[in-house]
Structure 1
Protein backbone atom coordinates (compact mmCIF):
# COMPACT_ATOMS: atom_id res chain seq x y z
CA UNK A 1 0.00 0.00 0.00
CA UNK A 2 1.43 3.41 -0.93
CA UNK A 3 1.17 6.19 1.64
CA UNK A 4 0.03 9.66 0.75
CA UNK A 5 2.29 12.23 2.39
CA UNK A 6 1.26 15.86 1.81
CA UNK A 7 2.54 19.33 2.58
CA UNK A 8 4.88 18.19 5.37
CA UNK A 9 7.07 20.99 6.77
CA UNK A 10 8.94 18.36 8.76
CA UNK A 11 10.97 16.82 5.92
CA UNK A 12 11.83 17.27 2.28
CA UNK A 13 8.54 16.60 0.40
CA UNK A 14 10.37 14.76 -2.40
CA UNK A 15 11.99 12.38 0.06
CA UNK A 16 8.66 11.86 1.82
CA UNK A 17 6.90 11.04 -1.45
CA UNK A 18 9.47 8.36 -2.26
CA UNK A 19 8.36 6.17 0.64
CA UNK A 20 6.69 3.01 -0.69
CA UNK A 21 5.60 1.29 2.52
CA UNK A 22 3.23 3.11 4.93
CA UNK A 23 5.32 1.85 7.83
CA UNK A 24 8.77 2.61 6.44
CA UNK A 25 11.09 4.40 8.88
CA UNK A 26 10.85 7.69 6.95
CA UNK A 27 7.09 7.83 7.40
CA UNK A 28 7.18 6.89 11.06
CA UNK A 29 9.95 9.45 11.58
CA UNK A 30 7.75 12.20 10.16
CA UNK A 31 4.92 11.22 12.50
CA UNK A 32 7.27 10.85 15.45
CA UNK A 33 8.75 14.30 14.88
CA UNK A 34 5.25 15.79 15.06
CA UNK A 35 4.11 13.78 18.09
CA UNK A 36 7.39 14.10 20.01
CA UNK A 37 6.70 17.81 20.46
CA UNK A 38 3.95 16.78 22.87
CA UNK A 39 0.53 18.26 23.59
CA UNK A 40 -1.04 16.29 20.73
CA UNK A 41 -4.82 16.06 20.47
CA UNK A 42 -6.10 12.73 19.13
CA UNK A 43 -9.35 12.44 17.17
CA UNK A 44 -10.29 8.80 16.62
CA UNK A 45 -12.97 7.17 14.50
CA UNK A 46 -14.39 3.76 13.70
CA UNK A 47 -11.37 2.70 11.65
CA UNK A 48 -9.34 2.44 14.83
CA UNK A 49 -11.64 -0.28 16.18
CA UNK A 50 -12.04 -2.50 13.12
CA UNK A 51 -9.05 -4.60 14.21
CA UNK A 52 -10.99 -5.32 17.42
CA UNK A 53 -13.80 -6.86 15.38
CA UNK A 54 -16.08 -3.81 15.34
CA UNK A 55 -17.12 -2.86 11.78
CA UNK A 56 -17.19 0.66 10.39
CA UNK A 57 -19.62 2.42 8.06
CA UNK A 58 -17.29 4.05 5.55
CA UNK A 59 -13.89 2.31 5.71
CA UNK A 60 -12.78 -0.90 3.99
CA UNK A 61 -15.09 -3.10 6.08
CA UNK A 62 -18.09 -0.82 5.59
CA UNK A 63 -18.12 0.07 1.92
CA UNK A 64 -20.52 -2.73 0.99
CA UNK A 65 -22.73 -2.22 4.03
CA UNK A 66 -26.08 -0.53 3.66
CA UNK A 67 -26.36 1.46 6.86
CA UNK A 68 -29.78 2.37 8.21
CA UNK A 69 -29.08 3.67 11.71
CA UNK A 70 -31.84 4.42 14.18
CA UNK A 71 -32.85 8.06 14.47
CA UNK A 72 -33.80 9.72 17.74
CA UNK A 73 -37.18 10.74 16.38
CA UNK A 74 -38.13 7.19 15.39
CA UNK A 75 -36.86 5.78 18.66
CA UNK A 76 -38.95 8.05 20.91
CA UNK A 77 -41.98 8.10 18.62
CA UNK A 78 -42.62 4.41 17.97
CA UNK A 79 -43.08 1.41 20.25
CA UNK A 80 -42.21 -0.88 17.36
CA UNK A 81 -39.07 1.09 16.54
CA UNK A 82 -37.87 0.73 20.13
CA UNK A 83 -38.68 -2.99 20.11
CA UNK A 84 -36.70 -3.41 16.89
CA UNK A 85 -33.80 -1.34 18.17
CA UNK A 86 -33.48 -3.12 21.52
CA UNK A 87 -33.82 -6.60 19.98
CA UNK A 88 -31.06 -5.82 17.50
CA UNK A 89 -28.92 -4.07 20.08
CA UNK A 90 -29.36 -6.92 22.57
CA UNK A 91 -27.83 -9.31 20.03
CA UNK A 92 -25.17 -6.85 18.89
CA UNK A 93 -24.03 -6.11 22.44
CA UNK A 94 -22.65 -9.66 22.66
CA UNK A 95 -19.97 -8.68 20.15
CA UNK A 96 -19.44 -5.06 21.17
CA UNK A 97 -19.30 -5.88 24.88
CA UNK A 98 -16.71 -8.60 24.34
CA UNK A 99 -14.43 -6.55 22.06
CA UNK A 100 -10.93 -5.92 23.34
CA UNK A 101 -8.48 -3.10 22.59
CA UNK A 102 -6.13 -3.68 19.68
CA UNK A 103 -2.55 -2.54 19.10
CA UNK A 104 -3.73 0.90 17.99
CA UNK A 105 -5.68 1.57 21.20
CA UNK A 106 -2.76 0.32 23.28
CA UNK A 107 -0.32 2.57 21.40
CA UNK A 108 -2.49 5.64 21.99
CA UNK A 109 -2.71 4.81 25.71
CA UNK A 110 1.07 4.36 25.81
CA UNK A 111 1.60 7.77 24.21
CA UNK A 112 -0.71 9.30 26.80
CA UNK A 113 1.25 7.66 29.64
CA UNK A 114 4.41 9.02 28.03
CA UNK A 115 3.03 12.54 28.44
CA UNK A 116 2.65 13.27 24.73
CA UNK A 117 -1.10 13.84 24.46
CA UNK A 118 -3.29 16.84 25.25
CA UNK A 119 -6.36 14.61 25.22
CA UNK A 120 -8.36 12.11 23.18
CA UNK A 121 -11.61 12.91 21.41
CA UNK A 122 -13.28 9.78 20.08
CA UNK A 123 -16.25 9.41 17.77
CA UNK A 124 -16.47 5.75 18.83
CA UNK A 125 -18.94 4.41 21.38
CA UNK A 126 -17.12 1.17 22.21
CA UNK A 127 -15.06 2.26 25.24
CA UNK A 128 -11.89 0.64 23.88
CA UNK A 129 -9.65 3.65 24.53
CA UNK A 130 -10.46 3.42 28.22
CA UNK A 131 -10.15 -0.37 28.23
CA UNK A 132 -6.61 0.08 26.86
CA UNK A 133 -5.77 2.35 29.79
CA UNK A 134 -6.30 5.84 28.34
CA UNK A 135 -7.63 8.32 30.90
CA UNK A 136 -8.36 11.67 29.25
CA UNK A 137 -11.00 10.51 26.80
CA UNK A 138 -13.97 12.58 25.63
CA UNK A 139 -16.66 10.35 24.13
CA UNK A 140 -18.15 12.73 21.58
CA UNK A 141 -21.06 10.42 20.80
CA UNK A 142 -21.39 8.77 24.21
CA UNK A 143 -20.84 5.14 25.20
CA UNK A 144 -22.75 1.90 24.63
CA UNK A 145 -21.72 0.58 28.04
CA UNK A 146 -24.28 2.88 29.69
CA UNK A 147 -28.06 3.32 29.48
CA UNK A 148 -29.96 6.52 30.26
CA UNK A 149 -33.62 7.01 31.19
CA UNK A 150 -35.22 9.70 29.03
CA UNK A 151 -37.51 10.74 31.91
CA UNK A 152 -35.45 10.82 35.11
CA UNK A 153 -32.02 10.87 33.36
CA UNK A 154 -30.62 8.17 35.66
CA UNK A 155 -27.72 6.32 34.04
CA UNK A 156 -27.15 2.62 34.68
CA UNK A 157 -24.61 0.07 33.41
CA UNK A 158 -25.41 -1.70 30.15
CA UNK A 159 -24.60 -4.99 31.88
CA UNK A 160 -27.61 -4.47 34.16
CA UNK A 161 -29.92 -3.92 31.19
CA UNK A 162 -28.48 -6.94 29.40
CA UNK A 163 -29.35 -9.11 32.41
CA UNK A 164 -32.89 -7.66 32.64
CA UNK A 165 -33.53 -8.22 28.93
CA UNK A 166 -32.37 -11.83 29.17
CA UNK A 167 -34.71 -12.36 32.12
CA UNK A 168 -37.62 -10.73 30.24
CA UNK A 169 -36.99 -12.86 27.13
CA UNK A 170 -36.04 -16.33 28.42
CA UNK A 171 -37.23 -18.14 25.29
CA UNK A 172 -36.14 -15.56 22.71
CA UNK A 173 -33.07 -16.46 20.70
CA UNK A 174 -31.78 -14.72 17.61
CA UNK A 175 -28.46 -14.51 15.82
CA UNK A 176 -27.63 -11.60 13.56
CA UNK A 177 -25.71 -12.26 10.36
CA UNK A 178 -24.24 -8.75 10.48
CA UNK A 179 -23.28 -6.36 13.30
CA UNK A 180 -23.33 -2.62 12.63
CA UNK A 181 -20.83 -0.11 14.12
CA UNK A 182 -23.47 1.34 16.46
CA UNK A 183 -23.80 -2.06 18.12
CA UNK A 184 -27.01 -3.43 16.63
CA UNK A 185 -27.40 -6.66 14.69
CA UNK A 186 -29.33 -7.00 11.45
CA UNK A 187 -32.45 -9.09 12.26
CA UNK A 188 -35.57 -9.95 10.32
CA UNK A 189 -39.04 -8.79 11.36
CA UNK A 190 -39.81 -12.37 12.35
CA UNK A 191 -36.81 -12.46 14.68
CA UNK A 192 -37.82 -9.19 16.33
CA UNK A 193 -41.42 -10.31 16.88
CA UNK A 194 -42.10 -11.31 20.48
CA UNK A 195 -39.12 -9.45 21.97
CA UNK A 196 -40.02 -7.70 25.23
CA UNK A 197 -38.53 -4.30 26.08
CA UNK A 198 -37.98 -3.24 29.70
CA UNK A 199 -38.28 0.27 31.15
CA UNK A 200 -36.49 2.29 33.82
CA UNK A 201 -36.59 0.65 37.25
CA UNK A 202 -36.59 4.07 38.94
CA UNK A 203 -39.49 5.80 37.17
CA UNK A 204 -40.80 3.52 34.42
CA UNK A 205 -39.49 5.84 31.70
CA UNK A 206 -38.04 4.94 28.31
CA UNK A 207 -34.49 3.61 28.30
CA UNK A 208 -32.03 4.60 25.61
CA UNK A 209 -28.34 3.76 25.18
CA UNK A 210 -26.22 6.67 26.37
CA UNK A 211 -25.16 7.50 22.83
CA UNK A 212 -26.09 10.22 20.37
CA UNK A 213 -28.55 8.98 17.76
CA UNK A 214 -28.88 10.49 14.30
CA UNK A 215 -31.14 13.53 14.63
CA UNK A 216 -29.96 14.19 18.19
CA UNK A 217 -27.55 16.96 19.16
CA UNK A 218 -24.30 16.41 21.01
CA UNK A 219 -24.46 18.43 24.27
CA UNK A 220 -22.92 21.85 23.77
CA UNK A 221 -20.67 21.50 26.82
CA UNK A 222 -19.18 18.31 25.36
CA UNK A 223 -18.55 19.95 21.99
CA UNK A 224 -16.90 22.90 23.73
CA UNK A 225 -14.66 20.53 25.67
CA UNK A 226 -13.58 18.88 22.42
CA UNK A 227 -12.82 22.22 20.81
CA UNK A 228 -10.83 23.23 23.89
CA UNK A 229 -8.74 20.06 23.62
CA UNK A 230 -7.97 20.80 19.97
CA UNK A 231 -7.28 24.52 20.30
CA UNK A 232 -4.76 24.12 23.12
CA UNK A 233 -2.88 21.36 21.28
CA UNK A 234 0.36 21.69 19.34
CA UNK A 235 -0.80 19.13 16.78
CA UNK A 236 -3.89 17.12 15.85
CA UNK A 237 -3.59 13.39 15.11
CA UNK A 238 -6.63 11.90 13.33
CA UNK A 239 -6.92 8.11 13.55
CA UNK A 240 -9.31 5.97 11.53
CA UNK A 241 -11.90 8.60 10.70
CA UNK A 242 -13.16 9.31 7.19
CA UNK A 243 -14.17 12.81 8.37
CA UNK A 244 -17.19 12.43 6.10
CA UNK A 245 -19.55 14.25 8.45
CA UNK A 246 -19.33 17.57 10.26
CA UNK A 247 -19.25 15.90 13.68
CA UNK A 248 -15.54 15.13 13.37
CA UNK A 249 -14.50 17.35 10.46
CA UNK A 250 -15.23 20.55 12.40
CA UNK A 251 -12.28 19.86 14.71
CA UNK A 252 -9.93 19.41 11.77
CA UNK A 253 -11.25 22.63 10.23
CA UNK A 254 -10.66 24.44 13.53
CA UNK A 255 -7.10 23.16 13.79
CA UNK A 256 -6.39 24.22 10.20
CA UNK A 257 -7.79 27.69 10.86
CA UNK A 258 -5.45 28.05 13.84
CA UNK A 259 -2.44 26.78 11.90
CA UNK A 260 -2.13 23.65 14.04
CA UNK A 261 -0.33 20.82 12.17
CA UNK A 262 -2.65 17.92 11.30
CA UNK A 263 -1.62 14.30 10.70
CA UNK A 264 -4.18 11.79 9.43
CA UNK A 265 -3.77 8.00 9.48
CA UNK A 266 -6.65 6.22 7.77
CA UNK A 267 -7.31 3.51 5.23
CA UNK A 268 -8.75 5.48 2.36
CA UNK A 269 -9.17 9.21 1.68
CA UNK A 270 -10.77 11.51 4.22
CA UNK A 271 -12.68 14.78 4.18
CA UNK A 272 -9.75 16.47 5.93
CA UNK A 273 -6.93 15.51 3.58
CA UNK A 274 -6.79 18.95 1.98
CA UNK A 275 -6.00 20.53 5.37
CA UNK A 276 -3.54 17.86 6.50
CA UNK A 277 0.17 18.40 6.99
CA UNK A 278 0.72 14.67 6.68
CA UNK A 279 -1.51 11.78 5.57
CA UNK A 280 -0.84 8.06 5.73
CA UNK A 281 -3.05 5.44 4.10
CA UNK A 282 -2.08 2.53 6.33
CA UNK A 283 -3.36 -0.03 8.86
CA UNK A 284 -3.91 1.68 12.19
CA UNK A 285 -2.71 -1.00 14.60
CA UNK A 286 0.68 -1.70 13.08
CA UNK A 287 1.37 1.95 12.23
CA UNK A 288 0.57 3.23 15.72
CA UNK A 289 2.52 0.41 17.35
CA UNK A 290 5.55 1.37 15.24
CA UNK A 291 5.05 5.03 16.14
CA UNK A 292 4.89 4.29 19.87
CA UNK A 293 8.06 2.20 19.64
CA UNK A 294 9.84 4.96 17.72
CA UNK A 295 8.87 7.43 20.44
CA UNK A 296 9.95 5.08 23.24
CA UNK A 297 6.38 5.09 24.56
CA UNK A 298 5.83 1.72 26.23
Structure 2
Protein backbone atom coordinates (compact mmCIF):
# COMPACT_ATOMS: atom_id res chain seq x y z
CA UNK A 1 0.00 0.00 0.00
CA UNK A 2 2.87 2.37 0.73
CA UNK A 3 4.37 1.81 -2.73
CA UNK A 4 0.96 2.41 -4.34
CA UNK A 5 0.61 5.58 -2.26
CA UNK A 6 4.01 6.83 -3.44
CA UNK A 7 2.91 6.22 -7.02
CA UNK A 8 -0.45 7.95 -6.42
CA UNK A 9 1.41 11.01 -5.14
CA UNK A 10 3.46 11.15 -8.33
CA UNK A 11 6.70 10.12 -6.64
CA UNK A 12 7.08 6.92 -8.69
CA UNK A 13 6.80 6.89 -12.47
CA UNK A 14 6.29 3.15 -12.45
CA UNK A 15 7.00 -0.08 -10.62
CA UNK A 16 9.05 -3.01 -11.85
CA UNK A 17 8.33 -5.97 -9.62
CA UNK A 18 9.80 -9.45 -9.45
CA UNK A 19 6.74 -10.50 -7.41
CA UNK A 20 4.11 -12.63 -9.13
CA UNK A 21 1.33 -12.18 -6.56
CA UNK A 22 -0.46 -9.06 -7.87
CA UNK A 23 -0.25 -7.32 -4.49
CA UNK A 24 0.95 -4.01 -5.98
CA UNK A 25 -2.16 -3.86 -8.17
CA UNK A 26 -4.41 -4.98 -5.31
CA UNK A 27 -3.02 -2.06 -3.28
CA UNK A 28 -3.95 0.36 -6.07
CA UNK A 29 -0.72 0.71 -8.05
CA UNK A 30 -1.40 1.40 -11.72
CA UNK A 31 1.86 1.33 -13.70
CA UNK A 32 3.23 -2.07 -12.72
CA UNK A 33 5.51 -4.14 -14.90
CA UNK A 34 5.48 -7.73 -13.66
CA UNK A 35 8.98 -8.76 -14.66
CA UNK A 36 8.36 -12.43 -13.87
CA UNK A 37 4.67 -12.50 -14.82
CA UNK A 38 1.65 -13.08 -12.63
CA UNK A 39 -0.04 -16.04 -10.97
CA UNK A 40 -3.46 -14.58 -11.75
CA UNK A 41 -3.30 -15.90 -15.31
CA UNK A 42 -2.14 -18.91 -17.30
CA UNK A 43 -0.46 -19.09 -20.69
CA UNK A 44 -0.65 -21.72 -23.41
CA UNK A 45 2.80 -23.02 -24.31
CA UNK A 46 1.69 -23.53 -27.93
CA UNK A 47 -0.36 -20.51 -29.02
CA UNK A 48 0.72 -18.17 -26.15
CA UNK A 49 -2.90 -17.20 -25.38
CA UNK A 50 -3.27 -15.87 -21.84
CA UNK A 51 -6.41 -16.52 -19.82
CA UNK A 52 -7.42 -15.74 -16.24
CA UNK A 53 -6.41 -18.35 -13.69
CA UNK A 54 -9.94 -18.20 -12.26
CA UNK A 55 -11.24 -19.47 -15.62
CA UNK A 56 -8.80 -22.40 -15.48
CA UNK A 57 -9.89 -23.14 -11.92
CA UNK A 58 -13.55 -23.28 -13.04
CA UNK A 59 -12.67 -25.64 -15.88
CA UNK A 60 -10.57 -27.87 -13.62
CA UNK A 61 -13.36 -28.00 -11.02
CA UNK A 62 -15.86 -28.99 -13.70
CA UNK A 63 -13.53 -31.72 -15.00
CA UNK A 64 -12.83 -33.00 -11.46
CA UNK A 65 -16.03 -32.43 -9.46
CA UNK A 66 -15.15 -34.83 -6.62
CA UNK A 67 -11.47 -33.94 -6.30
CA UNK A 68 -10.13 -31.86 -3.43
CA UNK A 69 -6.59 -31.22 -2.27
CA UNK A 70 -6.26 -32.70 1.17
CA UNK A 71 -3.61 -31.57 3.57
CA UNK A 72 -1.63 -28.39 3.56
CA UNK A 73 -1.72 -26.10 0.53
CA UNK A 74 0.99 -23.42 0.68
CA UNK A 75 0.29 -19.76 -0.16
CA UNK A 76 2.09 -20.16 -3.49
CA UNK A 77 -0.24 -23.04 -4.42
CA UNK A 78 2.26 -25.81 -3.83
CA UNK A 79 0.91 -28.89 -2.10
CA UNK A 80 2.26 -32.32 -1.29
CA UNK A 81 -0.11 -34.84 -2.87
CA UNK A 82 -0.12 -38.59 -2.64
CA UNK A 83 -0.24 -40.82 -5.71
CA UNK A 84 -3.83 -41.69 -4.78
CA UNK A 85 -4.81 -38.01 -4.78
CA UNK A 86 -3.26 -37.47 -8.21
CA UNK A 87 -4.71 -40.64 -9.77
CA UNK A 88 -7.65 -39.88 -12.00
CA UNK A 89 -7.16 -36.09 -11.97
CA UNK A 90 -8.22 -34.68 -15.33
CA UNK A 91 -5.96 -31.98 -16.77
CA UNK A 92 -7.56 -29.45 -19.12
CA UNK A 93 -5.83 -27.96 -22.14
CA UNK A 94 -5.98 -24.63 -23.96
CA UNK A 95 -9.48 -24.02 -25.30
CA UNK A 96 -8.04 -22.38 -28.43
CA UNK A 97 -5.46 -24.91 -29.61
CA UNK A 98 -5.43 -27.82 -27.13
CA UNK A 99 -1.92 -26.91 -25.98
CA UNK A 100 -0.41 -27.31 -22.54
CA UNK A 101 -1.11 -24.58 -19.97
CA UNK A 102 1.20 -23.23 -17.27
CA UNK A 103 1.10 -20.31 -14.84
CA UNK A 104 2.05 -17.10 -16.66
CA UNK A 105 5.26 -16.73 -14.67
CA UNK A 106 8.92 -17.00 -15.51
CA UNK A 107 10.39 -20.08 -13.87
CA UNK A 108 14.10 -20.48 -13.13
CA UNK A 109 15.85 -21.22 -16.41
CA UNK A 110 13.29 -19.37 -18.53
CA UNK A 111 13.94 -15.96 -20.06
CA UNK A 112 11.90 -12.83 -19.42
CA UNK A 113 10.26 -11.82 -22.73
CA UNK A 114 12.38 -9.27 -24.60
CA UNK A 115 9.55 -6.75 -24.94
CA UNK A 116 9.02 -6.78 -21.17
CA UNK A 117 12.74 -6.25 -20.53
CA UNK A 118 12.73 -3.40 -23.07
CA UNK A 119 9.76 -1.79 -21.30
CA UNK A 120 11.66 -1.94 -17.98
CA UNK A 121 14.79 -0.45 -19.55
CA UNK A 122 12.68 2.34 -21.05
CA UNK A 123 11.20 3.11 -17.64
CA UNK A 124 14.69 3.25 -16.10
CA UNK A 125 15.96 5.37 -19.00
CA UNK A 126 13.23 7.95 -18.44
CA UNK A 127 13.75 8.08 -14.66
CA UNK A 128 15.56 10.66 -12.56
CA UNK A 129 16.52 8.03 -9.97
CA UNK A 130 15.95 4.40 -9.09
CA UNK A 131 14.55 3.08 -5.82
CA UNK A 132 15.06 -0.61 -5.05
CA UNK A 133 12.79 -2.05 -2.38
CA UNK A 134 13.22 -5.40 -0.67
CA UNK A 135 15.36 -7.24 -3.20
CA UNK A 136 18.70 -8.91 -2.72
CA UNK A 137 19.33 -8.42 -6.45
CA UNK A 138 20.98 -11.81 -6.35
CA UNK A 139 19.96 -12.70 -9.91
CA UNK A 140 20.56 -10.83 -13.13
CA UNK A 141 16.85 -10.51 -13.84
CA UNK A 142 16.42 -7.45 -11.59
CA UNK A 143 20.06 -6.47 -11.17
CA UNK A 144 20.38 -5.43 -14.82
CA UNK A 145 18.12 -2.43 -14.26
CA UNK A 146 20.25 -1.15 -11.40
CA UNK A 147 23.33 -1.65 -13.58
CA UNK A 148 21.67 0.41 -16.34
CA UNK A 149 20.69 3.17 -13.91
CA UNK A 150 24.30 3.34 -12.69
CA UNK A 151 25.56 3.46 -16.29
CA UNK A 152 23.20 6.38 -16.93
CA UNK A 153 24.47 8.17 -13.83
CA UNK A 154 21.13 7.95 -12.05
CA UNK A 155 21.19 7.92 -8.26
CA UNK A 156 20.19 4.52 -6.87
CA UNK A 157 18.69 4.08 -3.40
CA UNK A 158 18.27 0.60 -1.94
CA UNK A 159 16.11 -0.35 1.04
CA UNK A 160 16.64 -3.98 2.00
CA UNK A 161 17.56 -6.11 4.97
CA UNK A 162 21.06 -7.33 4.28
CA UNK A 163 23.46 -6.82 1.41
CA UNK A 164 22.41 -6.76 -2.24
CA UNK A 165 24.13 -7.47 -5.52
CA UNK A 166 24.10 -3.75 -6.32
CA UNK A 167 25.41 -2.19 -3.12
CA UNK A 168 28.43 -0.81 -5.00
CA UNK A 169 26.11 1.10 -7.37
CA UNK A 170 23.94 2.61 -4.64
CA UNK A 171 24.14 6.26 -3.64
CA UNK A 172 22.04 5.37 -0.60
CA UNK A 173 21.79 2.06 1.26
CA UNK A 174 19.25 1.56 4.02
CA UNK A 175 19.40 -1.76 5.85
CA UNK A 176 15.93 -1.78 7.39
CA UNK A 177 12.65 -3.71 7.44
CA UNK A 178 10.70 -2.70 4.36
CA UNK A 179 7.14 -2.55 5.74
CA UNK A 180 7.84 -0.17 8.60
CA UNK A 181 10.28 1.91 6.54
CA UNK A 182 7.88 2.44 3.64
CA UNK A 183 4.95 3.16 5.90
CA UNK A 184 7.01 5.83 7.64
CA UNK A 185 8.27 7.24 4.35
CA UNK A 186 4.76 7.51 2.90
CA UNK A 187 3.53 9.20 6.09
CA UNK A 188 6.34 11.78 6.03
CA UNK A 189 6.08 12.77 2.36
Tell me the TM-score normalised to structure 1 length. 0.59
Determine the structure 2 residue equivalent to 1:160.
55
Q: Does 1:230 align with 2:124?
A: yes
Determine the structure 2 residue equivalent to 1:273.
167
Equivalent residues of 1:262, 1:276 under 8 A apart: yes
CA–CA distance in structure 2, aligned partners of residues 240 and 125 of structure 1: 14
Task: Give the number of equivalent residue pairs.
Answer: 188
Structure 1 residues 199-214: aligned runs within 5 Å:
199-214=93-108
Pairwise CA RMSD of aligned residues?
Answer: 1.8
Gaps of 5+ in 2: none
- 1:184 CA drift (Å): 3.5
Deviations 1:125-171 (A, max 9, x none): 11111111111111111111111222232221110111111222223
Determine the structure 1 residue equivalent to 2:35.
140
CA–CA distance in structure 2, aligned partners of residues 272 and 141 of structure 1: 20
Deviations 1:30-74 (A, max 9, x none): xxxxxxxxxxxxxxxxxxxxxxxxxxxxxxxxxxxxxxxxxxxxx
Determine the structure 1 residue equivalent to 2:10.
115
- 1:256 CA drift (Å): 1.4
> Which residue, out of 259, 262, 265, partners 2:153?
259
| Higher RCO structure (Cα 8 Å, ≥6 apart) | 1
239-248 vs 262-271, which moves further: 262-271
> Which residue, out of 215, 221, 236, partners 2:109?
215
CA–CA distance in structure 1, aligned partners of residues 183 and 177 of structure 2: 10
Q: Does 1:169 align with 2:72?
A: no
Gaps of 5+ in 1: 1-105
> Which residue, out of 285, 289, 293, partners 2:179?
285
CA–CA distance in structure 1, aligned partners of residues 115 and 72 of structure 2: 38
CA–CA distance in structure 1, aligned partners of residues 50 and 71 of structure 2: 27
Secondary structure in structure 1 of the residue aligned to 2:14: strand
